[in-house]
């Protein structure tokens, strides 16, 4: 399988994240990169397709913030990574504010997603890896893998969160539509709900989105991913903590059957290995050997398929988990 990765994606080096009342070492760190690359063997460096595909999904104000936030943070006399600490509540009127803390709050929904000096560079090349793999899928009508890092599925049109800054699955879906595909299926199998992807495509007819994830009543991102959000082109299948393959497989079949009803002509898989039993921030019980049958079931849809990487933080097992998943295609 052709795999895409750019070394500039290493430039994002968050030191810490804030949750559960304290600062913790960042779970989305460089060790993930080495683990996944070791499992892939060779990768291809994507060509630079520029900003046009990014602008189909993300707004200019938000993109300006991603690019400038760390410089402004330093100019404000701060050190280290930029973090928001104040957020507008639902229904608060939109304001045009200039202080960096206000801008960060306007475009964030958590305190786990800092912006460092290399965040923009890494995110930009992560998008290009996704677009490179998409080109391979479209040209050759088969499956390709983009090692997108940092992840993307929590990022909305104008907000970051969940270690995500630019939404690769969404950007690739829009690019596939621009290339002439007519209906894109997105299947999100990360442990966490793909809230950004859902937000971006809710109400659309040309993109359908199914997500299997931990019940947001107990797990991040809490405010999205509930079963009753399954309306129109959205299907959410929340599962309880402790879910193993026996419980996961029927949900996967349900999601695939539902996606197939819309007769998509291209599939994008948001693959997260944080469903693994050893994941330090998650609570499912999938085993490394479960990812191959998961992938075979997805491959049975018979669609040209782009796989993008989302989460997966059990570094010791991460390479084997990715290799097991890709082997199923
Ligand atoms: Zn996740």
> In angstroms, what is the span from residue 191 Cα to ligand 1's centroid?
5
**Ligand 1 center to residue 190 CA distance, Å?**
5
Query: What's the gap in Å between 227 CA and the centre of ligand 1?
Result: 18
Q: Which two tokens stand for residue 58?
A: 């993300």
Altogether, the residues listed in the chain come to a count of: 329
11/231 Cα distance (integer angstroms): 38
Active site residue 154: yes
Distance from residue 249's CA to the centre of ligand 1 (Å) = 18
Residue 259 belongs to what H/E stretch?
A: helix 245-261
Whether a cis peptide bond, with omega within 30° of 0, leads into 150 is: yes
Selection from 251, 256, 230 nearest residue 240 by Cα: 251
Instruction: Give the integer Cα–Cα distance in Å for 22 and 16.
Output: 10
Q: Which of 249, 216, 211, 248 is nearest to 230 (CA)?
A: 211
Give me ligand 1 centre to Cα 139, in Å.
30
Q: Which of 70, 107, 153, 154 is catalytic?
A: 154
Ligand 1 center to 127 CA (angstroms): 18
pLDDT of residue 198: 98
CA of 151 to the centre of ligand 1 (A): 9
* 207 strand-pairing partners: 184
Q: Is 193 in contact with 236 (CB distance < 8 Å)?
A: yes
Would strands 305-309 and 22-25 be described as parallel, antiparallel, or unpaired?
unpaired
CA of 111 to the centre of ligand 1 (A): 15
**Distance of alpha carbon 169 from its chain centroid, rounded?**
7
Residue 208: predicted pLDDT: 98
Distance of CA 43 to the CA centre of its chain: 20
From the number of C-beta atoms within 10 Å of its C-beta (0-12, 13-18, 19+), residue 111 rates as middle
Between CA 117 and CA 169, with CA 127 as vertex, the angle to 5 degrees is 125
Q: How many CB atoms lie within 10 A of CB 69?
A: 24
Report the greatest alpha carbon distance in the chain. 55
Inter-CA distances, 225 with 8, 168, 181, 246, 275, Å: 32, 19, 27, 21, 16
How many of the other CB atoms lie within 10 Å of CB of 287? 15
Give me the torsion for CA of 30, 34, 36, 42, rounded to 10°: 130
pLDDT of residue 10: 97
- Give me ligand 1 centre to Cα 7, in Å: 22
Q: How far is the CA of 192 from the centre of ligand 1 (A)?
A: 4
CA distance 227 to 211: 10
Q: Splitting the chain (329 residues) into consecutive groups of 10 residues, what average pLDDT does each group show?
A: 97 94 93 96 96 98 97 97 92 91 95 97 98 97 95 98 98 98 98 98 98 98 98 98 98 98 98 98 97 98 98 98 98
3-state secondary structure 19-59: ECCEEEECCCCHHHHHHHHHHHCCCECCCCCCCHHHHCCCC
**pLDDT at residue 326, as a whole number:** 98
Nearest CA among 270, 271, 273, 329 for reference residue 301: 329
3 state DSSP class of 172: helix
Q: What is the pLDDT of residue 92?
A: 86
Q: What is 109-165 written as a DSSP string?
A: S-SS--B-TTHHHHHHHHHHHHHHHHHHHHHHTSEEEE--SS--TT--SS-BBTTBS
**pLDDT (0 to 100) of residue 90:** 81
Report the alpha-carbon angle 105-219-251, nearest 5. 125
């Amino acid at each position: 399988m052709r795999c895409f990765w750019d070394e500039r994606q290493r430039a994002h080096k968050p030191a810490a994240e804030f949750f559960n009342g304290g600062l913790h070492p960042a779970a989305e760190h460089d060790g993930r990169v080495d683990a996944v690359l070791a499992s892939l063997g060779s990768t291809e460096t994507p060509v630079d397709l520029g900003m046009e595909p990014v602008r189909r999904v993300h707004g200019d104000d938000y993109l300006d913030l991603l690019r400038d936030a760390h410089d402004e943070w330093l100019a404000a006399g701060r050190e280290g990574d930029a973090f928001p600490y104040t957020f507008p509540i639902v229904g608060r009127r939109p304001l045009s504010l200039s202080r960096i803390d206000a801008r960060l709050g306007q475009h964030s929904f958590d305190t786990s997603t800092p912006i460092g000096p290399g965040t923009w560079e890494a995110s930009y090349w992560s998008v290009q890896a996704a677009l490179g793999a998409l080109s391979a899928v479209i040209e050759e009508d088969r499956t390709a893998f983009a090692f997108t890092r940092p992840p993307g599925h929590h990022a909305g049109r104008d907000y970051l969160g969940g270690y995500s800054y630019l939404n690769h699955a969404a950007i690739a879906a829009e690019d596939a539509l621009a290339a002439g595909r007519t209906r894109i299926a997105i299947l999100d199998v990360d442990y966490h709900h793909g809230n950004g992807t859902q937000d971006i495509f809710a109400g659309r007819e040309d993109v359908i989105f199914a997500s299997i994830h931990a019940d947001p009543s107990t797990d991040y991102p809490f405010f999205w991913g509930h079963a009753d959000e399954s309306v129109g082109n959205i299907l959410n299948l929340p599962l309880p903590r402790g879910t193993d393959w026996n419980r996961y497989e029927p949900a996967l079949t349900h999601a695939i059957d539902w996606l197939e009803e819309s007769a998509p002509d291209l599939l994008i898989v948001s693959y997260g290995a944080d469903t693994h039993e050893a994941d330090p921030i998650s609570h499912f019980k999938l085993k490394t050997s479960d990812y191959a049958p998961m992938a075979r079931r997805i491959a049975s849809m018979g669609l040209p398929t782009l796989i993008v990487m989302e989460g997966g933080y059990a570094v010791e097992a991460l390479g084997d988990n990715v290799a097991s998943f890709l082997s199923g295609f």
